[in-house]
Amino acid sequence: MPIRELTPLEARAEHARLVEQIRHHDRLYYQQDMPEVSDAEYDALRRDLEALEAAFPELVSADSPTQQVGAAPSQAFGKVEHLVPMLSLANAFGEEDVSDFLERVRRFLGLDADEPVACLCEPKIDGLSFSALYEDGRYVRGATRGDGQVGEDITRNLATLVDFPERLKETPARIEVRGEVYMDKRDFAALNAAREEAGEAVFANPRNAAAGSLRQLDVSVTASRKLRYFVYAVGVCDGYTPESQHALITWLGEQGFSTNPETHLADSTDAIGEVYAALAEKRAALSYDIDGMVIKVNRTDWQRRMGAVQRSPRWAIAYKFPAEKAQTVIEAIDVQVGRTGALTPVARLTPVTVGGVVVSNATLHNEDEIERKDIRVGDTVVIQRAGDVIPQVVEVVTAKRPKDSAPYIFPKACPVCGSPTGRDPEGAVWRCEGGLVCSAQQVERLKHFVSRAAFDIEGLGAKVVEMFWREGLIAEPADIFTLEARDKDSLSRLKNREGWGDKSAENLFRAIEAARRVSLKRFIYALGIRHIGEGNAGLLARHYGDVDSWVQAMKDASGNEEVMQNLLAIDGIGEKAAHAMTAFFSDERQVAALEALLPLLEVSPDQSGAVDSPVSGKTVVFTGTLVKQSRSEAKAEAQALGAKVAGSVSAKTDYVVAGEAAGSKLKKAEELGVTVLDEDAWLALIGRGA
């Protein structure tokens, strides 16, 4: 079923399932350099989330890879905080995606529909991202990308790369260069041959070999592996301001860095397609692995104007190469129960190798998808490793169907707790009605609570949460913060349990103690309220400011029309999200759990409105057509200045910025006596006037 035909319930169920998969793959890929799936399969999982969140913005979640970059750095290396976050890229898989990207660029910048957008196209290297900091032209620090905010200190390792400059030809005061470390195919083959001869395990591919070689505590091992690199960007550059991406790459090459020669300028979907086709044709002949092409808006002033969303820059996209398909057999169909009770069917497959990657599971989405494709246990199916959902069952090979085959019957009771299930009247998702009675939902909510984008309690991962829950140590969030006190009086101390010890128990309790101090945004997100992902949590934190105000407003919203309208006026908060919150606060068990939790925490107020600007803390509504900047750009700038951007006008609105053809919002502002500004007055107010 196409994503836009999914109901919110179906979309939410699929979203939760994908998040758990990708978090698992992130740990394997970024921390252990031992991925279980190919880049194509992993990228397609991300693409599905991007498509889901584009169609259902309320799904935006910090647990979603669309809001994250990489994974937390390994504890084996020192930590390095990036001067500017190292973001990842959104993906394109066809000409339509590229066309949509260019259209978004024009729309954001307010360009004419037919105005060319010059882009620099470069190979997407299948390696390990890094940053290298230079001060006064001298190399001083190197780091991996890590989680985008904090990476691993690989200063000495990076210096061993082939042709890596210790000094630049020019000496800007400070520059942080970014690039990709890779291993040449010939060096990879030689390394594996040597390891095989020595009886050691061989690397699966050059990317794994490069990542494993760079992240060595023994720098001499890194030096022996002949690692290479390309640079493609800068994070911070004090002393040099390029006019274009192309000029930047040229300048970096002049400073002594290795830059990729396969870079080309193109200014249309067709021109970009030609560069992509040519690159795909020579892909096999290159001495390094690539998995697509990166497209970047060439003008750096446009890049600065466009900025970034949570995970990705708005001005760049990765145009990925297509993946492969294979046939295998469905051995069983299991049904998983998510945090919100959604039942998601998963096909257990006879493991099949596709392009060197073993695939053993595939999503079946929901009951309607199973019926539409007539998927049965025992069927031979075609598995696709790219597309909207990966791994995905594309079709059934009916000619190979067993004679005793029978249609699959979707369970009408929760497979975990046995509670009745109900189907969304507007969709295909079945949901367990047991609520917090269902152990699966209890455990999944606890996992969500301690997840990285929520309370981020190191040492309290999914498996530990499951163990603590089974043993009765934690049943709700407040139990986490009383665990140490209860452990001291326990006859079975945590440190004495199998797999634990004094140090590991001490580290866990220290992490829990540190987690007591949490931002309002993380706190709201951690509660696991349906339709409240990280994006919506941030909007709520910005609007209400502190936890007491937010909790009281949510309690009042179900019976107070003014409070509800104030909630709905927040730009980005829709009716589904608003009603999900009122439903949460109408549930006595949820409120009791919340009230037990709050005294144990220090929830810091939101500081996003603390920017020193004339509109800091002010509520602004934009209406009509703006001429000097797009509405998206205006909203982003207002928020960066600490303003609260609302979607509707109320008595609490401070300014209405009215462009051309302003309609009902302008009329309501005049009726309420709200200050109305034209575009020039708004720009003058924020210091951008002529």
Spatial contact of 529 and 339, defined as CB atoms under 8 Å apart: no
pLDDT value at residue 600: 95
CA separation (Å) from 163 to 158, 181, 226, 375, 537? 11, 12, 10, 54, 46
Q: How large a percentage of the chain has pLDDT more than 90?
A: 37
Task: Name 471's Cβ contacts closer than 8 Å, sequence gap at least 6.
Answer: none
| 598: pLDDT strictly greater than 90 | yes
Spatial contact of 515 and 457, defined as CB atoms under 8 Å apart: yes
Residue with token string 């107010």 = 685
- Identify the DSSP state of 73: P
Q: How far is 481 from 243, CA to CA, in rounded Å?
A: 52
More confident residue, 122 or 84: 122
pLDDT value at residue 36: 61
Spatial contact of 544 and 555, defined as CB atoms under 8 Å apart: no
Residues counted in the chain? 690
What's the mean pLDDT in 226-247? Answer: 91
pLDDT in tens, 645-687: 888 888 888 999 998 888 888 888 888 899 999 988 998 898 8
- Identify the DSSP state of 630: -
Please state whether beta strands 421-423 and 392-396 pair in parallel, antiparallel, or not at all (unpaired): unpaired
pLDDT in tens, 395-414: 999 999 999 999 999 988 99
When mean pLDDT is compared across 101-110, 221-230, 339-348, 561-570, the lowest value belongs to: 561-570
Q: How far is 361 from 674, CA to CA, in rounded Å?
A: 56
pLDDT value at residue 484: 94
Please state whether beta strands 264-266 and 79-81 pair in parallel, antiparallel, or not at all (unpaired): unpaired
Q: How far is 275 from 281, CA to CA, in rounded Å?
A: 10
Q: How confident is the model at residue 267 (pLDDT cuts 50, 70, 90)?
A: very high
pLDDT value at residue 228: 94
When mean pLDDT is compared across 32-36, 101-105, 205-209, 482-486, the lowest value belongs to: 32-36
450 token code pair: 């301690």
Burial class (CB in 10 A: 0-12, 13-18, 19+), 257: buried
pLDDT value at residue 340: 82
| 289: pLDDT strictly greater than 60 | yes
Q: How far is 232 from 255, CA to CA, in rounded Å?
A: 13
Q: How confident is the model at residue 71 (pLDDT cuts 50, 70, 90)?
A: very low
When mean pLDDT is compared across 13-17, 302-306, 509-513, the lowest value belongs to: 13-17
Helix (H, G, I), strand (E, B) or coil at 604: strand
| 79: pLDDT strictly greater than 70 | yes
pLDDT value at residue 357: 60
| Averaged confidence pLDDT in the chain | 85
Q: How confident is the model at residue 74 (pLDDT cuts 50, 70, 90)?
A: very low
pLDDT value at residue 229: 95
pLDDT in tens, 612-624: 788 888 889 998 8
pLDDT in tens, 131-184: 999 999 999 999 998 878 888 888 998 999 989 999 998 888 899 999 999 999
* Straight-line distance from the first to the last Cα atom of the chain, in angstroms, rounded to the nearest whole number: 52
Q: How far is 635 from 646, CA to CA, in rounded Å?
A: 9
pLDDT value at residue 388: 35
Say whether 124 is catalytic: yes
pLDDT in tens, 180-218: 999 998 998 898 888 888 877 778 778 888 888 888 877
| 69: pLDDT strictly greater than 50 | no
pLDDT value at residue 245: 96
Beta-ladder partners of 134:
139, 175
The active-site residue out of 79, 124, 320, 403 is 124
Q: How confident is the model at residue 70 (pLDDT cuts 50, 70, 90)?
A: very low
When mean pLDDT is compared across 430-439, 503-512, 539-548, the lowest value belongs to: 430-439
Q: How far is 306 from 579, CA to CA, in rounded Å?
A: 33
The domains found in the chain, sorted by start residue, are 3-67 (1.10.287.610), 79-320 (3.30.470.30), 435-515 (1.10.150.20), 519-604 (1.10.150.20), 619-685 (3.40.50.10190)
pLDDT in tens, 446-498: 999 998 888 989 889 888 999 999 999 999 999 999 999 999 988 889 988 88
pLDDT value at residue 31: 52
pLDDT in tens, 358-394: 778 888 888 888 999 999 999 999 987 653 345 788 8
